[in-house]
Structures are given as structure tokens and as C-alpha cells.
Structure 1
Amino acid sequence: MASETIRLTGLTRSYGVGAAETTALVDATVTARAGEFVVLRGPSGSGKTTLLRLAAGLDEPDAGESWIGGRRVTAAPESEVAELRRTVLGYVDQEFPLVAFLTASENIELPLRARGASARERRFRVAEILEAVGLSDHAAQRPDELSGGQQQRVAVARALVHRPRVVLADEPTAQLDSTTAASVVGLIRERARRDGMTALVASHDPIVAEAADRVVEIHDGRLIGGV
């Protein structure tokens, strides 16, 4: 497992009970190594979001396990999962929730504050990642002053700013035009190659799939290729 920074084995998840029960994910197994950019591709409702949430410890599976950066996430105490997110994991939620009363810059620096980074380091890293996502001129704006695409780029920047070993991203280009999407995908891919970061990105965007080292197909909660 040493070289596998993402190891998801036999993940299964259902919601509801009785006749209303819906199976979202069935026996999903995915591994990825340091520096690898893996895309989870499938239509809406195929189970992509469920898999990422289980991987990140945001939900618990009915069966199976998630290991991130050599640490067991499934059934781990919340304090351990929170520490994992502060130090090892970057997560881009499909809804990219930002703190409404904070500026773009302040939203991005939250992971650095959680790690106790100095003010100098926070300023440097936030400025660097703002430039990388093309938002240097919007650092002082709050979420309601940004477009949906700009908010999404802030969310991506926030997930990458602390240089995580693993990033999980759910449809990170959904609000972006093709040129901006290609730039954001290129940034994630660059971080994977340069820093050895592992990226597992759920998307049905062909721009994302074209940049992948490997594409894992998912349909109706089942992985059908690329594992």
C-alpha cells in the first residue's frame, strides 16, 4: 500500500429503506498512486459523488473501506478524519460551498490557517494560487460578488493551496468555459506531476478525461473499466 495514496476497496452504499431503497454504489474498488491523475467518468447519478464522499470520510459505506495517504478513513474517529483533511487531503465539493462573509483570498487561506501556517506563508501561497487560477484581481471580492465560475475556481484554489498529497474533486469544471476548464485541469495535472500529488477527479467533461493518466468508467453505481 506504500505507493498507493488512494485505496478504495469494495465500497457499497445504499440510501432509503424497503421499497424506497436505492443503491448508489456497488463493490467499488479503485487505487491510485502518487503523481497519478485519475478521472472517474460517468453520467449524472452514476455514483461519482457518492464514491468521492465515501473516499473523503464525508459519508460512511455499508461495506468496504477507504484509505487515503496510508490512513484508514472508514470508521475512523472524526478527529482523525479532520486531521487528514487539514494535512493530507484537498476536497472540491460539487456545490463548491464558500464562506459568504469572507473574501476569495480569505476563503482560500482557510486550510493554511487550520494548519497553523504563518501570515507570511499564507500571503505567499494564496497569492501564488490566485494567480494560477486567474483570480489575482478578485482576491478582495466576496462570493456574492463573483460569478459561478469564479467561485468554482476559488474552491479549487482552496483545495490546492496547502499542497495536499491527495485531491478529490467533484465536477471541478462544471461552471467553466472550455478555455478556463483546460487551465484548471492543467493546474491539477501540473501539481500531480510536479509535487507527486494524487488526483481523483469525478467528471463527465471530455476536457478532464483527455488530460487523465487513466479513466475509470462508472455507470449505475458500478465501475466498469479503467480500474
Structure 2
Amino acid sequence: MKTDSLANKVYIDLRRKILSNQLVPGMRLKEDVWAKKTDVSRMAVREALNRLLGENLVVFGEKGGYFVKSMTPDDIREIRQLRELLELGALRMAFQKEKQDFIPALEQICDDFTAMVEKGYIGGACEADMKFHEILIASSGNSKLMELYQVSNIPLFHMKLGKMQMDDYEQTDAEHRQIVKALKAGDLKLAESTLVKHLLRGEETALEIE
């Protein structure tokens, strides 16, 4: 396999682990360790880390090395504001489509999230939560919107989920399902208001943890 393909494989793996809180803020990502874990060259790992650096998911340490980025309170507020703009826009575009075939996918993700929480698999629940919002964005049918969502550091909210309490997971599950229920009922206003409350609660929780 070519180096660029291997680097992409490492990039996808590291990005998923960062965004699902399996690699926590401040953790150092050593090239040699990840080369051994993923069975690729250090060059491929370095390329993947530089790509994550470009997305602002990792940073350089004062004495060198790559570290998972931490969020400031300002980061959290600004990410929530941007997510609200993009996700509400995506909801409105999706609502205007004649065929809303994305709803079953959202329902499946809700079931996956519930199952992960019940089994205590928090990393899996974080991934399901992230996937729910990605499907909302993708439902717009606008590829540029999805690209912006993916490169704007938006899913960093999910790095905080690993430290949440069980009632936070239950609220997240209930809010996700309320959004889906509203969409199925053709109630865009309820879907929008629930999404806004959901994102605001995520901001408040992240700031409390911070």
C-alpha cells in the first residue's frame, strides 16, 4: 500500500479516536508508538499527524511533539455557535426535500447510542452521537456543507462526552429522538428548537467540565 493511503488510514483512525474521546486532550501522540500500533511507517504517521495539525485537532508541544488539542471556553462557545448555524441550515434544506430517506438512518443511530450506553461502551456512544449530527448535515444533500463541518473542528464537543454523567447520556438520547420524531411529524419548528436546546446544553456541560 502506498504511503499516502497508509497515512490516510492512520489519519482516519486517529481522528475518530480524538473525536470520540478515546484520545483525550493533552495526550501526546508519539510517531513511533502509532507506527507500531497501526503497522505503518513513521513517515505515514507523521503525514497523518500533520493533517490533523492542519485541522487544529492536534498541536505542537513547547518542546516538540504532537498533542491532542484542548479547548478553551471561547472555543466551546464559538463551536456551538457555528454548529447551530450549520445544523439548522442542514435541517431546513433536508426538510424541503421530497424524499426524507435519512430518517431511518437517524433512528438506527439513536438505537445504537442507546445500546452503547446500556452496555457501558462510552467510546461507542460518543461515536454514535457524532454520527447522528453528521447524518443531519449530510441530509442537506450539500457536499460543501459537509466538507465545512468536517474541517471546522466542530465535533470537538464530543471529546467531553467521556466525562459526562449517566443522566447527560439519557438527555442526549431523549433529545436526539425528539428531533427525529419532530422530523417524522413534519414539525420543523420543534426539530429546530430541540436541536438548539440540545447544542446549548452541550455547551453548558462542556463549560462545567472545563
User: Structure 2 length as normaliser, TM-score?
Assistant: 0.27
| Larger helix fraction of residues | 2
Higher relative contact order at CA 8 Å, sep ≥6: structure 1 or structure 2? 1
